[in-house]
């Protein structure tokens, strides 16, 4: 009915290119527009002003000869005030954009190593956007945004990179583990040394106290019992200590079987050995 009356409806975010007898006449804005077909007017086409997206996958190689697939996402739109250029100057907008993306990526990525390509993907996207902006502005299009959404090397290269990364992390973990073991061993050795030092001090004090006690006992006994010598008193003390030791061994529930020579001669030998040890200790202290 609208076409019969010479009227058409233009949707929002779109413009209509009107021609008269095959020649461009006017750009019709959204809303109800007059189109008197009887005067040779017709709709040449419709142009969307919405932002459109084009994903471009480009295969190229890096400076270190690694082939990668670079995926660029280009967001663009036609300008309402340049609808004539956008409609008439380009027959394949998406193909034109794809060609420029290929050109810039294949000129930029081969200058970079693989690691640098990952690190500088924003610079690559900026170079693509600047080149597209200069080229597409002449055709009535605006480049809204350009993104490098993926850089995908060959599957064998990715596997090798993962193995290198895993080996580096394992080496770091081994170093850390070895360092921790080293610290534990050092601390353990320091603890053992300190324990042995303190144990030695305790034993030395214990022996000194035993020597002092025996000396006092011998002197007191010699003074109270006339006619006895220091040797007699020492032998009696050693025999007493010997039987006390045997008693403690027999009374302990955790003691093992102990086989030692027993008899008057054995006691004499033990007394002689202890006496000689004490004399040597006194000589060392002096």
The pLDDT of residue 51 is 92
Quick check: helix, strand or coil at residue 80?
A: helix
* Domains identified in the chain, total number: 3
Question: Dihedral (C-alpha) 8, 9, 14, 20: value to the nearest 10 degrees?
Answer: 10
CA distances from 231 to 34, 77, 219, 234, 271 (A): 143, 119, 11, 5, 10
The pLDDT of residue 77 is 92
The pLDDT of residue 142 is 92
pLDDT of residue 114 exceeding 80: yes
Find, among 97, 111, 115, the residue nearest to 151 by Cα. Answer: 115
Q: Which of 117, 136, 153 is the last residue of a domain?
A: 153
Dist CA 191 CA 182 (whole Å): 14
Dist CA 81 CA 182 (whole Å): 75
The pLDDT of residue 1 is 44
Flag whether 173 is in a domain: no
Q: What is the pLDDT of residues 168-182, one digit of tens each?
A: 888 888 888 888 888
Are 138 and 110 members of one domain?
yes
Are 35 and 64 members of one domain?
no
Flag whether 158 is in a domain: no
Find tokens 């290929």 and name the residue.
Answer: 102
CB 101, CB 72: distance < 8 Å:
yes
Are 237 and 266 members of one domain?
yes
pLDDT of residue 2 exceeding 50: no
CB 112, CB 120: distance < 8 Å:
yes
Flag whether 2 is in a domain: no
Look up the domain containing 278 and give its range: 229-253+262-285
Are 58 and 149 members of one domain?
yes
Q: What is the pLDDT of residues 62-97, one digit of tens each?
A: 888 888 899 999 999 999 888 988 888 888 889 989
Helices (H) and strands (E) counted in the chain, each on its own, are 8, 8
Find tokens 């305790």 and name the residue.
Answer: 202
The CATH number that applies at residue 120 is: 3.30.479.30
């Amino acid at each position: 009915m609208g076409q019969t009356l010479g009227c058409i409806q233009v949707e929002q975010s779109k413009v209509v290119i009107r021609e008269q007898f095959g020649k461009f006449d006017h750009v019709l804005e959204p809303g109800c527009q007059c189109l008197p077909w009887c005067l040779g007017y017709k709709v040449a086409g419709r142009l969307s002003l919405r932002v459109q997206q084009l994903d471009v996958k480009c295969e190229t190689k890096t400076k270190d000869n690694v082939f990668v697939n670079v995926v660029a996402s280009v967001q663009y739109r036609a300008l309402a005030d340049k609808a004539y250029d956008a409609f008439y100057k380009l027959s394949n907008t998406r193909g034109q954009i794809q060609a420029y993306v290929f050109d810039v990526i294949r000129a930029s990525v081969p200058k970079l190593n693989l690691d640098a390509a990952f690190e500088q993907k924003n610079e690559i996207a900026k170079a693509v956007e600047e080149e597209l902006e200069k080229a597409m502005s002449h055709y009535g299009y605006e480049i809204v945004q350009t993104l490098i959404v993926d850089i995908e090397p060959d599957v064998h290269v990715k596997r090798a990179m993962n193995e290198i990364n895993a080996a580096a992390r394992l080496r770091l973990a081994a170093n850390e583990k070895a360092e921790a073991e080293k610290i534990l061993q050092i601390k353990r050795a320091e603890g053992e040394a300190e324990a042995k030092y303190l144990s030695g001090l305790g034993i030395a004090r214990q022996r000194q106290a035993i020597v002092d006690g025996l000396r006092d006992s011998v002197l007191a006994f010699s003074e109270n019992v006339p006619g006895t010598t220091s040797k007699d008193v020492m032998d009696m003390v050693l025999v007493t200590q010997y039987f006390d030791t045997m008693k403690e061994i027999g009374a302990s529930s955790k003691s093992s079987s102990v086989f030692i020579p027993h008899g008057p001669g054995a006691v004499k030998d033990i007394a002689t050995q202890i006496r000689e040890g004490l004399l040597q200790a006194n000589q060392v202290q002096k």
